[in-house]
């Protein structure tokens, strides 16, 4: 059956029905798993069945299906832009410098991957909330720059490098834009030509990396790097990590941070979790396979070598290609069908590792050496699977990068490599590649010891599948989106050294339980599970990150959004894997792959032979006349672009299944926007500000204490590690113990200028800037506050002359008003240690408070620990405190807590 709406509905309906009945029959056994939610259970099953069904179709069919048009909701605004060729040229130059002469030789040249097909343009699309766009347009006319212009997410979607598009991921991007109150930018797919968005295998490595780099350079035209964060899922997460390494090594501006959602960072599949039983994941255990077609698979390595030898003797003719085509019934034809050969008597341990192997991976299986001659991955050739830009886990160092958030599903196949790469980024010298890789890509060990460790927040989500955000309508995914918004806002605030206001969507975007989950734990819950206490919870926009410890925030998150500490690093076997094993193809996975491949080879043997013979003719015809002196990968369109009929165009058909899926996934966002709009009308809309906080202070302190020279950063002795740990802990402690100067933090209201004597507190509450108080007691005695217009000043401990209009409360001086904030003078405010206002005063939407670093038991305020300086945008807002029957009107200085 074809891959269309009707056929897909027929194929998926039985799976949906069977999952529904199975879910409720076995609901008790699912209580501690995310699949206890019926929507999550159905979503994983639909993905699994869709990939199994698409395997019976060609790569082109899947690409065409996932590139169909999906209309965006009316409350989402999109804008298509064209990236000028100058950025493509600049990106190509940087990529050529990064690859170097040897890398270019392995890739096959420097021209073919810059060819874009029939359409030479690279397009991108902006995604944002329509209300945010309208507000930004109005604000730009009056004040200039709107805050959303400083919150840019560059999103790189996944899809194993060969399928998927912006159309399939827009519903996720729009939620990122809504929660961040910013804009999301992504490479776009042209509706009329597949070449506008370059996917493997037609456009293999480094085509997509070139596009991403050009798109980022385009963003830098109008935005500062500290206003941009990267985000990517699966293959997009791995590509984002490789892109960061290029920017670092080439001295290009780095973004504020990066969010990697289930990143695919090891295309050699060398980690143990890839071969374990992973029932909670939807990725096929044997990898991706498809019906043979003109796009996939390409001729095997033996056939390619035969083509090259034949072309070296004579021009490409019909007769000249016959030598490359294996004779019927020969051993070569059998190898062409199977895609591998077996060496009965291996001369050495042939397990593939590093780049010293020529072309074909050789794996020792059951005492026999299997030489794989078919191309394994669509993204690149077998030889380049071990390149650091293809498998970032093999980078000499992942240090020197902006802060990373790595989100990993505890039930996915790729969890080990994600866990490993997070620790490698934080401590590069503790997890170096093997000597063979270093000799190849960093012979002097310069890169390994050059960069300091990267600050990483690692979150492992219990039992979740690969890229759980694709199931955005499920409860666990909603928690993950909140965590992403929290980290994104923090990274932007840290890079911009200011506060970032984001939506406090606790009320407008509630995460409610469904009928499948009981609110309480069952009585027979395991003791180990019930005895553990969570240390925090995700889901509150604006919460600060906890302090980094050894450059890491290591967290485990359950299906209810509760956060727990991960066990010590020594308790994880994946972190004890020797470096020589990382980057070595897993023999167990090869056995699974060969078994699944055999089934497909038998089923589609004739189709494969027919396709390969046609491809051999096309390659032989084009190798001599296209890209002279270069050898593009055999799967690429560039290798056979002159052959007739190899570049079909596609129309912009609408996909009804993907539209239904997108609408289902967008319901939560639509309801949240409706609640937000309603609360704005009622004057109850809440915003919260995010700043660098303790995590940012720890990050800056460790970088500063490690010295100016990054070369000294990577001393991995126990003394150095403990010193870094003490530094971060000391910074966190200093933030608690440090007494900050009293100050009032005021939000922007208008551009009026006020003097110290004639401005009322009401006006100051709405003015831009801060008011500093005199912290020196001797100065306070000389500058005795004068009470004016019904305001009072509490001066106990500061002056012995108590005015008639003052009262004494505790041992601190406070500015007090009991007749409304309009009557309080600036002088009384400026010379006091604090401000006491009416709790039920509705004149101002924001309240300004000052902070003390002394620990108190009261918890009536949400406060922020400040340093000695406060930026113009620092704002803090009080919240109501329950249980104040005896003092329902005033808050005192003793009630001010510490963050």
**Interval 55-70: pLDDT, tens:** 999 999 999 888 888 8
User: Over the Cα atoms of the chain, what is R_g?
Assistant: 31
Would you state the torsion angle of the CA atoms of residues 303, 306, 307, 312, taken in this order, to the nearest 10 degrees?
A: 170
Q: Any idea which fold 76-276+385-510+533-581 has? A: Rossmann fold (3.40.50)
The CA-based dihedral angle spanning residues 528, 534, 540, 544, taken in that order and rounded to the nearest 10 degrees: -140
Q: What is the pLDDT of residues 243-260, one digit of tens each?
A: 999 999 999 999 999 999
Q: pTM of the prediction?
A: 0.77
Q: Where are the alpha helices (DSSP H) in 688-795?
A: 693-705, 718-737, 761-765, 777-782
3-state secondary structure string, 490-534?
HHHHHHHCCCEEEECCCCCCCCCCCCCCCCCCCCCCCHHHHHCCC
Report angle CA 333, 334, 340 to the nearest 5 degrees: 110
As a dihedral over the C-alpha atoms of residue 325, residue 327, residue 332, residue 336, rounded to 10 degrees, the angle is 60
Residue 782: which residues within 8 A CB-CB, separation 6 or more?
none
The three-state (H, E, C) secondary structure of 627-690, written as one string: CCCCCCCCCCHHHHCCCCCCCCCCCCCECHHHHHHHHHHHHHHHHHHHHHHHHHHCCCCCEEEE
* Closest listed residue to residue 215, CA positions, set 236, 234, 194, 193: 236
Extract the tokens encoding 142: 């009056």
pLDDT of residue 649: 55
Domain boundaries, the chain: 1-29+38-68, 76-276+385-510+533-581
805 neighbors 792 (Cβ within 8 angstroms): yes
As a dihedral over the C-alpha atoms of residue 359, residue 267, residue 444, residue 575, rounded to 10 degrees, the angle is: -140
Residue 591: pLDDT band by 50, 70, 90 thresholds?
confident
Q: What is the pLDDT of residue 510?
A: 65
Rounded to whole angstroms, how far apart are CA atoms 178 and 183?
8
> How far apart are the C-alpha atoms of 839 and 820, rounded to whole Å?
11
CA gap 474, 755 in Å, rounded? 54
CA distances for 407 relative to 45, 417, 455, 465, angstroms: 22, 12, 14, 11
Task: Give per-residue pLDDT as tens, 792-820.
Answer: 333 333 333 434 333 333 344 444 444 44
- Is the distance from CB of 831 to CB of 785 less than 8 angstroms? yes
Query: What is the per-residue DSSP string for 87-115?
Result: HHHHHHHHHHHHHHHHHHHHHT-SSGGG-
Q: Which residue has the tokens 């989950």?
A: 517
Best CA proximity match to 502, nearest among 513, 512, 492, 516? 492
- The pLDDT of residue 670: 75
Q: What integer pLDDT is reported at residue 326 of this predicted model? A: 57
Q: By the 8 A CB rule, do 290 and 377 touch?
A: no
With beta carbons less than 8 A apart as the criterion, state whether 47 and 284 touch: no
pLDDT band at 786 (very low <50, low <70, confident <90, very high): very low
Give how far the C-alpha of residue 688 lies from the chain's centroid of Cα atoms, to the nearest Å: 22
Residues 626, 598 contacting (CB under 8 angstroms): no
Q: Tell me the two tokens of residue 832.
A: 């006091």
* 462/563 Cα distance (integer angstroms): 10
pLDDT at 717: 40
Segment 663-677 mean pLDDT: 75
Which pLDDT belongs to residue 409?
A: 96
Angle value at C-alpha 280, between 274 and 283, nearest 5 degrees: 50
Instruction: In whole angstroms, give the CA distance from residue 33 to residue 41.
Output: 10
pLDDT (0 to 100) of residue 781: 38
Q: What was the pLDDT predicted at 575? A: 96
Rounded Cα gap, residues 407 and 709, in angstroms: 31
From residue 872, give the alpha-carbon distance in Å to each of 136, 633, 664, 833, 848. 21, 55, 42, 20, 13
**Residue 620, by phi and psi: left (phi above 0), alpha (psi -120 to 50) or beta?**
alpha
Tokens of 202: 């037609």
Does position 78 have pLDDT exceeding 90, yes or no?
yes
Q: What pLDDT, in 10s, does the model give residues 335-389? A: 666 677 787 655 544 444 444 444 688 888 888 888 888 899 999 999 999 999 9
Band of residue 194 on the pLDDT scale cut at 50, 70, 90: very low
Arithmetic mean of pLDDT, 844-854: 34
Region 379-400: what's the mean pLDDT?
A: 96
Q: Report helix, strand or coil for 354.
A: coil
- Residue 258 confidence (pLDDT): 98
Cβ atoms < 10 Å from Cβ of 726? 11
Q: Which of the listed ranges 556-560, 589-593, 660-664 does the model predict with the highest average pLDDT?
A: 556-560
pLDDT band per the 50, 70, 90 thresholds, residue 598: confident
In this prediction, residue 644 carries a pLDDT of 67
**Mean pLDDT of the 273-297 span:** 91
d(CA 368, CA 342): 7
Residue 507 to residue 819: CA distance in whole angstroms: 33
Which residues lie across from 554 on neighbouring strands?
458
Give dist(CA 411, CA 71) in Å, integer. 32
Per-residue model confidence (pLDDT) at position 337: 63
Confidence check: pLDDT of 738 > 80: no
Mean pLDDT of the chain: 75
- Beta carbons within 10 angstroms of residue 274's beta carbon: 23
- Of 709 and 644, more confident: 644
Residue 641 confidence (pLDDT):
81
Angle at 515 between CA 514 and CA 519, to 5 degrees: 80
Report whether 631 contacts 112 (CB < 8 A).
no
Nearest to 80 by CA among 194, 196, 176, 179: 196
More reliable by pLDDT, 41 or 873: 41
Q: Which of 53-57, 370-374, 727-731, 835-839 has the highest mean pLDDT?
A: 53-57
> Quick one: pLDDT band at residue 191, thresholds 50, 70, 90?
very low
Measured at the CA of 700, the angle between CA 849 and CA 747, to 5 degrees, comes to 25
pLDDT (0 to 100) of residue 596: 85
Q: Is the dihedral of CA 796, 802, 808, 812 positive or negative?
A: negative
Q: What is the pLDDT of residue 144?
A: 67
691, two tokens: 């700043």
- Of 232 and 665, the structure prediction assigns the larger pLDDT to 232
Mean pLDDT of 594-616: 82
**Residue 9: strand, helix, or coil:** helix
**Two tokens at 122?**
């690279």
The pLDDT of residue 48: 94
Residues 604 and 416: beta-carbon distance below 8 Å: no
**Strand pairing report for 562-565 and 552-557:** antiparallel
Helix (H/G/I), strand (E/B), else coil: 77: strand
Nearest-angstrom CA–CA distance, 770 and 767:
9
DSSP 561-582: SEEEEPPPGGG-GGGG--TTTT
- With pLDDT > 70 as the criterion, what percentage of the chain qualifies? 64
């Amino acid at each position: 059956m074809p891959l269309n709406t009707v056929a897909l509905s027929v194929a998926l309906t039985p799976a949906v029905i069977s999952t529904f009945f199975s879910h409720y029959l076995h609901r008790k056994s699912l209580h501690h798993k995310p699949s206890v939610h019926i929507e999550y259970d159905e979503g994983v099953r639909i993905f699994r069945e869709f990939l199994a069904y698409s395997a019976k179709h060609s790569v082109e069919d899947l690409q065409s299906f996932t590139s169909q048009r999906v209309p965006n909701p009316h409350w989402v605004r999109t804008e298509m832009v064209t990236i000028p060729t100058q950025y493509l040229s600049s990106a190509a130059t940087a990529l050529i410098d990064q690859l170097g002469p040897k890398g270019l030789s392995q890739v096959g040249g420097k021209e073919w991957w810059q060819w874009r097909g029939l359409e030479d343009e690279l397009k991108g699309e902006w995604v944002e909330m329509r209300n945010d766009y309208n507000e930004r347009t109005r604000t730009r006319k009056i004040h200039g720059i709107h805050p959303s212009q400083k919150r840019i997410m560059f999103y790189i979607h996944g899809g194993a490098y060969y399928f998927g598009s912006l159309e399939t991921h827009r519903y996720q991007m729009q939620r990122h834009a809504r929660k961040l109150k910013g804009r999301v930018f992504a490479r776009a797919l042209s509706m009329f030509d597949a070449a506008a968005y370059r996917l493997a295998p037609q456009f293999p490595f480094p085509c997509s990396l070139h596009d991403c780099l050009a798109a980022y350079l385009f963003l830098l035209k109008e935005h500062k790097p500290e206003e941009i964060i990267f985000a990517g899922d699966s293959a997009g997460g791995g590509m984002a990590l490789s892109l960061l390494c290029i920017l670092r090594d080439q001295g290009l501006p780095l973004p504020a941070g990066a969010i990697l959602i289930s990143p695919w960072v090891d295309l050699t599949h060398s980690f143990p979790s890839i071969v374990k039983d992973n029932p909670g994941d939807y990725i096929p255990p044997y990898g991706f396979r498809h019906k043979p077609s003109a796009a996939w698979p390409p001729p095997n390595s033996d056939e390619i070598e035969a083509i090259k030898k034949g072309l070296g003797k004579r021009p490409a003719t019909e007769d000249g290609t016959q030598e490359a085509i294996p004779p019927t019934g020969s051993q070569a034809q059998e190898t062409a069908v199977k895609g591998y050969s077996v060496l009965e008597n291996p001369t050495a341990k042939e397990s593939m590792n590093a780049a010293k192997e020529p072309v074909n991976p050789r794996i020792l299986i059951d005492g026999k050496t299997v030489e794989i001659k078919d191309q394994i991955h669509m993204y690149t050739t077998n030889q380049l699977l071990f390149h650091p830009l293809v498998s970032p886990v093999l980078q000499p160092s992942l240090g020197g990068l902006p802060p990373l958030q790595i989100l990993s599903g505890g039930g996915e196949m790729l969890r080990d490599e994600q866990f490993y790469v997070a620790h490698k980024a934080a401590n590069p010298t503790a997890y170096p590649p093997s000597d063979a890789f270093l000799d190849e890509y960093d012979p002097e060990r310069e890169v390994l010891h050059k960069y300091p460790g990267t600050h990483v927040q690692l979150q492992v989500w219990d039992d979740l599948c690969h890229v759980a955000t694709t199931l955005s309508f499920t409860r666990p995914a909603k928690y993950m989106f909140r965590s992403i918004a929290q980290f994104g806002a923090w990274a932007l605030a840290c890079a911009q050294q200011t506060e970032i206001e984001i939506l406090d969507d606790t009320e407008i975007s509630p995460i409610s339980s469904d009928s499948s989950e009981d609110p309480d734990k069952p009585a027979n819950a395991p003791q180990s599970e019930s005895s553990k206490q969570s240390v925090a919870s995700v889901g509150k926009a604006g919460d600060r990150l906890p302090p980094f410890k050894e450059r890491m925030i290591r967290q485990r998150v359950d299906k209810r959004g509760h956060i727990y500490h991960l066990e010590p690093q020594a308790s994880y076997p994946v972190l004890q894997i020797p470096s020589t094993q990382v980057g070595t193809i897993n023999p167990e996975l090869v056995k699974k792959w060969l078994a699944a491949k055999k089934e497909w080879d038998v089923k589609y043997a004739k189709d494969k032979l027919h396709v390969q013979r046609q491809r051999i003719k096309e390659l032989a015809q084009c190798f001599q006349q296209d890209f002279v002196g270069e050898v593009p990968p055999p799967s690429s369109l560039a290798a056979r672009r002159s052959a007739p009929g190899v570049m079909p165009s596609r129309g912009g058909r609408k996909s009804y299944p993907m539209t239904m899926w997108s609408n289902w996934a967008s319901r939560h966002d639509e309801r949240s926007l409706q609640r937000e709009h309603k609360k704005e009308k009622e004057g109850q809309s809440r915003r919260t500000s995010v700043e660098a906080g303790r995590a940012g202070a720890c990050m800056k302190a460790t970088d500063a204490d490690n010295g100016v020279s990054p070369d000294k950063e990577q001393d991995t002795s126990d003394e150095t590690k403990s010193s870094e740990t003490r530094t971060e802990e000391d910074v966190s402690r200093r933030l608690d113990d440090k007494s900050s100067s009293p100050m009032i933090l005021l939000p922007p209201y208008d551009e009026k200028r006020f003097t110290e004597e004639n401005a009322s507190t009401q006006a100051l509450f709405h003015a831009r800037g801060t008011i500093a108080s005199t912290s020196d007691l001797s100065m306070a005695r000389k500058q005795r506050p004068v009470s004016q217009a019904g305001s009072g000043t509490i001066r106990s401990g500061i002056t012995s002359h108590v005015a008639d209009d003052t009262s004494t409360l505790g041992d601190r001086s406070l500015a007090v008003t009991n007749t409304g904030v309009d009557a309080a003078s600036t002088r009384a405010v400026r010379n006091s240690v604090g401000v006491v206002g009416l709790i039920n005063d509705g004149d101002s939407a924001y309240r300004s408070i000052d902070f003390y670093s002394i620990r108190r038991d009261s918890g009536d305020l949400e406060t922020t620990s400040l340093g000695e300086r406060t930026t113009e945008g620092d704002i803090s807002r009080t919240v109501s405190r329950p249980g104040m029957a005896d003092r329902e009107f005033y808050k005192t200085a003793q009630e001010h807590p510490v963050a």
